[in-house]
Structure 1
Amino acid sequence: MMDHATRVGNLLLTALPPADFALLALHLRKVVIERDSVLVRSGDRIEQLFFPLKGAIADITELPNGQTVATAIIGHEGAVGLTSSLGASVSPTTAVVRIPGTALQISRAQFLAAQHRSPAIASMVQVFTMSLLAQLQQVAACNALHSVEARLARWLLHIHDRANGGDLLPLTQETLSELLGVRRTTVTHVVSTMRASRALKSNRRGQLEIDRPRLEALACECYQVMSREIDRIVSRGAIGLVHGAPARGASHLPGSRRAGTSS
């Protein structure tokens, strides 16, 4: 059985009382999540759940005309496929690994069996769902009201929060176009502008080197709003789980790099 201490890499699993975590531990398998790998595609049946320990995963919404836009970034504060335990077994989005790392994997069937036996696990699902909804709502407002430059700065900060260390992010301009839902020509212009302001130090092939303080100055207020809200939700929910009580709030997202953990 997986030792209780090994779950510290994911905040949701860490928040579970030992007895409740034990219901999952026999079935959790540590896997490598590689850059650009697709964990689940939109419209596919969700068969596996992933609890990231390191790395960043983008939830991508795909439109009928082929355009894409990111709606959320998930790291060690959350999970991929977890909302399927609320009833819907088909994924509404495509989950793509943007920063490689590791995750704990469990089948949906095994997770559901444990959830039915554990109010704490059921509360954990609610905690994450609330934090995800908070992120989705803020992203929707941000996409409607703020410039592409401010939005790109926000996404880069969210990804950097979940990166494995260092200021070099393995992101191509094609990936940035997918995140933002804009043309490659728009991304090229925005990246050039951000390089001129030195928020981006360099733009190597397939990599972006950021200057975090300058990036924070360019980002809209949505970055701080999202960070604080998800932080508040997850931390409040996690406290309830640790003490064996149903979570009343949402979950705790690492809005800044201070929240980083290791597997």
Structure 2
Amino acid sequence: MEHARRVGNRLLAALPPADFALLAPHLRKVELQHDAVLVRSGDKIEHLSFPCSGAIALIMELPNGQTAATAVIGNDGAVGLMTALGPIRSPMTAVVRVAGTALQISPARFHNALERSPAIASSVQLLTRTLLTQFQHVAACNALHSVEARLARWLLHIHDRTDGGDILPLTQETLSELLGVRRTTVTHVVSALRSSRAIKSNRRGQLEIDRHRLEIIACECYKVMSRRIDRIVSQDAPRVLHAAPARIGCLPPDPPFAKTDS
């Protein structure tokens, strides 16, 4: 338990101590500033980010300039882990939507550890499962459910990954990006959620929510998706990662995080 609290990221915390020790000297803690772009679509991935707090949206950008969110990443995942498949460019843009902190490591350092640790390889597979779960549900939800239900779902997903109470730092532009709709549509949807008191107020750049009412309005995708992701991270991860056969020697647990990743 102390190890999990110290690490901050649930995916890293699930690693056996000896496997985590391969990464720890090269991890550096960074601040995730609100609206910061961690990587843009088509760019080379310069580092992997394991959030400890805050929320990062993965945004798909179409050639005509339209955008839509495909997933939200918090302390249950990572951004840039697709480099485990090879030196590929990012297929999506990753934007910090709620400020927080993350542990970052270079792809080269991560690959060195990956080659020595079946448990780290298993963690990549687990994260891939959580992302696929989100992608599949978001695609189905976008096709089948109302904009109001979809916005309620996104707000709940983001709220799950924040510790700042019921006020979310989200602008109408951000909501438009999450939903893949025009800002005029966002205005109508926010007004409807205010009428049902699921949104208490929407001051400039901030939304105050009523979580209980949002859960009533949100489609079933929210609960189904949350249960499946939580099962992967909380139940499958410890079982799969600790069952992975070790190929490394005994290393001291929990070495301190490096200040730089040179």
Structure 2 alignment gaps of length 5 or more = 246-262
Tell me the distance in 2 between the aligned counterparts of 1:5 and 1:162: 16
Question: For residues 29-44 of structure 1, what are the structure 2 equivalents within 5 Å?
Answer: 29-44=28-43
1:81-127 C-alpha deviation (Å, 9 max, x unpaired): 01221225210000000000000010011001100010000000000
Aligned to 1:232: 231
Tell me the distance in 2 between the aligned counterparts of 1:4 and 1:185: 46
Matched residue of 2:170: which SS?
coil
Aligned to 1:75: 74
Matched residue pairs, number?
244
The answer (yes or no) to whether the contact 1:7–1:13 under 8 Å persists in 2 is no
Aligned to 2:130: 131
Matched residue of 2:197: which SS?
coil
The answer (yes or no) to whether the contact 1:73–1:159 under 8 Å persists in 2 is yes
Tell me the distance in 2 between the aligned counterparts of 1:113 and 1:147: 45
The answer (yes or no) to whether the contact 1:173–1:187 under 8 Å persists in 2 is yes
Cα deviation for residue 4 of structure 1 reads 5.2
- Give the fraction of aligned pairs with identical amino acids, expressed as a percent: 74
Question: For residues 75-154 of structure 1, what are the structure 2 equivalents within 5 Å?
Answer: 75-154=74-153
Cα deviation for residue 213 of structure 1 reads 0.3
Please report the TM-score for the alignment, with normalisation by the length of structure 2.
Answer: 0.90
Cα deviation for residue 245 of structure 1 reads 2.5
Judging changes above 3 Å, is the alpha-carbon distance between structure 1 residues 66 and 110 closer, same or farther for their aligned structure 2 residues? same
1:54-76 C-alpha deviation (Å, 9 max, x unpaired): 00000000000000000000000
Cα deviation for residue 219 of structure 1 reads 0.3
Aligned to 1:205: 204
Matched residue of 1:71: which SS?
strand
Aligned to 2:181: 182
Amino acid at match of 2:213: R
The answer (yes or no) to whether the contact 2:55–2:96 under 8 Å persists in 1 is yes
Give the ranges of 4+ consecutive aligned residues of structure 1 lying more than 3 Å apart after TM superposition.
Answer: 3-8
Structure 1 alignment gaps of length 5 or more = 247-263
Tell me the distance in 1 between the aligned counterparts of 2:196 and 2:37: 34
The answer (yes or no) to whether the contact 1:16–1:241 under 8 Å persists in 2 is no
Matched residue of 1:149: which SS?
helix
Judging changes above 3 Å, is the alpha-carbon distance between structure 1 residues 14 and 5 closer, same or farther for their aligned structure 2 residues? closer
Tell me the distance in 1 between the aligned counterparts of 2:26 and 2:216: 44
Tell me the distance in 2 between the aligned counterparts of 1:36 and 1:42: 15
Tell me the distance in 2 between the aligned counterparts of 1:224 and 1:9: 24
**Mapped pair 1:215 → 2:214:** yes
1:217-246 C-alpha deviation (Å, 9 max, x unpaired): 110000001001111222233222453437
Tell me the distance in 2 between the aligned counterparts of 1:113 and 1:69: 34
The answer (yes or no) to whether the contact 1:143–1:151 under 8 Å persists in 2 is yes
Matched residue of 1:201: which SS?
strand
Tell me the distance in 2 between the aligned counterparts of 1:5 and 1:128: 17
Tell me the distance in 1 between the aligned counterparts of 2:50 and 2:95: 14
The answer (yes or no) to whether the contact 1:124–1:237 under 8 Å persists in 2 is no
Amino acid at match of 1:176: L
Please report the TM-score for the alignment, with normalisation by the length of structure 1.
Answer: 0.90
Q: Pick 1 or 2: higher relative contact order, CA cutoff 8 A, min separation 6.
A: 2
1:155-203 C-alpha deviation (Å, 9 max, x unpaired): 0000000012300000000100011000000000000011011000001
Tell me the distance in 2 between the aligned counterparts of 1:4 and 1:212: 30
Judging changes above 3 Å, is the alpha-carbon distance between structure 1 residues 35 and 29 closer, same or farther for their aligned structure 2 residues? same
Tell me the distance in 1 between the aligned counterparts of 2:166 and 2:216: 16
The answer (yes or no) to whether the contact 1:101–1:164 under 8 Å persists in 2 is no
The answer (yes or no) to whether the contact 1:17–1:244 under 8 Å persists in 2 is no
Larger Rg: 2
Question: For residues 245-256 of structure 1, what are the structure 2 equivalents within 5 Å?
Answer: 245=244
